[in-house]
């Protein structure tokens, strides 16, 4: 095996720090991609618009006069009006074979050749939720990716035209604006406080079935993008067994108090009881930047790396890297030219032992440290280079988008 092929296999899930990618996550009818399906969550805004406090969640009073109303029904009654259906259409090329339009060819076959348009409009649906009373809606980026027209169906029957304020492919999040006031708003919770085993309620429009509700529990937290097979995303995910299907993308995952704790985003094909959602704390941060700037600048340092696990160590050594049997940390396999890492003096073969005072045991720790920092900040790296300790500061740059 060549070092090149070894590097590509070994760093498939950990090269996000070098490259920006735009592959949409999840599957809905707009995407027409069969491998992974995506779904949706909800948020609230903290902006003040002309004296109208749009951060107030307009949640109806609970209706507990019916003995059949349990906590799930109360959550649905309260939050349901803030969940929307998003319809997106885009124009795509049909790639008609040139021979069909050849006059010589048509001269012999005439009307037997069907008229084939050069372009075709494709439509898809997803979910979203209202995060401010003045019409801002949070959804997944892949729901509106490449869309030339977006409309939003409210639960009260209104259909409003939507404008995409911004999208971020790396976190699969987007914000849409509709022209309306005094809309019901989904109340945001704190995804950092989630406990494995607590109730989870999903609301969305799976398979075009509007206002569908499913329940389950929080199955796990902190699932890395590489663990669930979407290594092009820079996120940790919440895992749930609440049923989510294509069309749920962008809808809210709620706790028993009716607070949005995550945005339903993806399922793994052929898996049973495995759904994944973006933590609302992370989504709220991205939404604020999309509203303010229309885009998100992600920090990066510019390395490909691999964790020094027993499974990786033997293959690493076979490719010429000198690693002792008890060495711990993260091996830098490649440094991108003209990157922050290159400018700071990092080299292929360096082993990252720590960031600041924190020890580093795996590549995910490095990714999280970079993602949680800001462009222009310095990361203090503790390295081992040829059995010597080296300390370097890396100034984070803006992750390239192409």
By percentage, how much of the chain surpasses pLDDT 90?
A: 54
Per-residue confidence band for 230, with pLDDT thresholds at 50, 70 and 90: confident
Q: Does residue 317 register a pLDDT over 70?
A: yes
Per-residue confidence band for 117, with pLDDT thresholds at 50, 70 and 90: low
Q: Does residue 20 register a pLDDT over 60?
A: no
DSSP letter for each residue of 341-386: HHHHT--TT-EEEEETTEE--SHHHHHHHHHTS-TT-EEEEEEEET
What the block records as the tokens of 345 is 């003096």
pLDDT at 227: 79
Task: State the catalytic residue, choosing from 54, 249, 304, 339.
Answer: 249
Per-residue confidence band for 269, with pLDDT thresholds at 50, 70 and 90: confident
Q: How far apart are the first and last CA of the chain?
A: 29
Residues 229-240, mean pLDDT to the nearest whole number = 83
Residues 141-153, mean pLDDT to the nearest whole number = 92
Task: State the catalytic residue, choosing from 127, 132, 142, 362.
Answer: 142
**What is the rounded average pLDDT for all residues in the chain?**
81
Q: Is 172 a residue of the active site?
A: yes
Per-residue confidence band for 210, with pLDDT thresholds at 50, 70 and 90: confident
Q: Mark out the alpha helices in 51-160 (DSSP H runs).
A: 71-79, 103-109, 141-144
Q: Does residue 77 register a pLDDT over 80?
A: yes
DSSP letter for each residue of 87-109: EEEEEEE----GGGG-HHHHHHH
Report the distance separating Cα 251 and Cα 41, nearest Å: 3
* Lowest-pLDDT range of 156-170, 189-203, 303-317, 381-395: 303-317
pLDDT at 79: 96
pTM confidence score = 0.73
pLDDT at 286: 95
Residues 98-108, mean pLDDT to the nearest whole number = 56
pLDDT at 402: 65
pLDDT at 110: 54
Residues 89-94, mean pLDDT to the nearest whole number = 70
* Lowest-pLDDT range of 87-96, 133-142, 284-293, 371-380: 87-96
Q: Does residue 17 register a pLDDT over 60?
A: no
Task: State the catalytic residue, choosing from 15, 40, 127, 172.
Answer: 172
Identify the H or E element spanning 387. none
Q: Does residue 4 register a pLDDT over 80?
A: no
pLDDT at 397: 95
Q: Does residue 378 register a pLDDT over 70?
A: yes
Mapping DSSP to helix (H, G, I), strand (E, B) and coil, where does residue 313 land?
helix
Q: Does domain 22-90+121-297 have CATH number 2.40.10.120?
A: yes
Q: Which of 224, 126, 112 is nearest to 173 (CA)?
A: 126
* 194 touches 186 (CB < 8 A): no
User: 3-16+299-397: which CATH topology?
Assistant: Pdz3 Domain (2.30.42)
Per-residue confidence band for 109, with pLDDT thresholds at 50, 70 and 90: low
Per-residue confidence band for 206, with pLDDT thresholds at 50, 70 and 90: confident
Residues 12-40, mean pLDDT to the nearest whole number = 38
Q: Does residue 42 register a pLDDT over 70?
A: no
* 124 touches 29 (CB < 8 A): yes
Crossing angle between the packed helical segments 3-10 and 310-318, to the nearest 10 degrees: 160
Domain locations in the chain as residue ranges: 3-16+299-397, 22-90+121-297
Report the distance separating Cα 147 and Cα 133, nearest Å: 24
- Is the Cα torsion angle 93, 97, 100, 101 positive or negative in sign? positive
Q: Is 298 a residue of the active site?
A: no
């Amino acid at each position: 095996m060549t070092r090149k092929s070894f590097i590509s296999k070994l760093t498939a899930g950990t090269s996000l720090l070098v490259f920006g990618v735009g592959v949409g996550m999840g599957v809905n009818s707009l995407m027409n991609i069969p491998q992974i399906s995506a779904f949706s969550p909800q948020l609230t805004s903290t902006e003040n618009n002309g004296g109208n406090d749009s951060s107030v969640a307009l949640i109806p009073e609970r209706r507990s006069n019916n003995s059949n109303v349990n906590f799930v029904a109360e959550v649905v009654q309260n939050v349901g009006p803030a969940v929307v259906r998003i319809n997106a259409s885009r124009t795509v090329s049909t790639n008609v074979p040139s021979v069909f339009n050849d006059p010589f060819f048509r001269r012999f076959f005439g009307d037997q050749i069907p008229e084939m348009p050069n372009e075709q409009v494709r439509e898809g649906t997803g979910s979203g939720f209202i995060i401010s009373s003045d019409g801002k809606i949070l959804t997944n980026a892949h729901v509106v990716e490449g869309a030339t027209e977006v409309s939003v169906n409210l639960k009260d029957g209104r259909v409003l035209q939507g404008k995409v304020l911004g999208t971020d492919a790396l976190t699969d999040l987007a914000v849409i604006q509709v022209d309306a006031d005094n809309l019901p708003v989904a109340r945001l919770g704190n995804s950092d406080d989630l406990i494995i085993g607590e109730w989870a309620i999903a609301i969305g429009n799976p398979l075009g079935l509007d206002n569908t509700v499913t329940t389950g529990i929080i199955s796990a937290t902190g699932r890395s993008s590489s663990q669930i097979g979407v290594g092009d995303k820079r996120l940790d995910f919440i895992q749930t067994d609440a049923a989510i299907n294509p069309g749920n993308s962008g809808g809210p995952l709620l706790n028993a108090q009716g607070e949005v704790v995550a945005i339903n985003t993806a399922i793994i094909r052929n898996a049973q009881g495995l759904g994944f959602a973006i933590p609302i704390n992370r989504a709220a941060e991205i939404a604020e930047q999309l509203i303010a700037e229309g885009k998100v600048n992600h920090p990066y340092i510019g390395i490909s790396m691999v964790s020094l696990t027993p499974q990786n160590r033997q293959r690493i050594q076979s490719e010429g890297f000198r690693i002792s049997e008890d060495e711990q940390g993260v091996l830098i396999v490649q440094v991108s030219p003209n990157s922050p890492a290159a400018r700071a003096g990092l080299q292929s073969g360096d082993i990252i032992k720590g960031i600041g005072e924190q020890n580093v045991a795996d590549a995910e720790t490095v990714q999280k440290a970079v993602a949680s920092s800001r462009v222009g900040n310095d990361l203090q790296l503790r390295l081992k280079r040829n059995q010597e300790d080296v300390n370097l500061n890396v100034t984070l740059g803006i992750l390239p988008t192409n």
